[in-house]
Amino acid sequence: MSIAEYELVRTFFCSLFASPQGVIKGVFPVIFWTKLIVLIPILYEAALNRELGDIIGKKNKSDRHGELQGVYGSSLKNNS
């Protein structure tokens, strides 16, 4: 990084944090959009897996937690 680039970045961050308005306008949207960009694919894949499981018929809506407890319970019984 050249000196000019360093000064540009330093000036940007100093002006960003110089006032509360700068923090609100600059930092919070970045945090919000970063969380949104990270969460959307995770939530989409979770919803997709849930729908596919229901379509295939491996998971019933009423017995989701019971299946998981059964899997963990049987694996614990087999290990002991």
Q: At 49, is the pLDDT very low, low, confident or very high (cuts 50, 70, 90)? A: confident
- What pLDDT is recorded for position 44? 80
CA distance 80 to 76: 6
CA distance 40 to 27: 20
pLDDT at 36 over 60: yes
Provide the residue count of the chain: 80
Place of tokens 């019984």: 77
pTM over 0.85: no
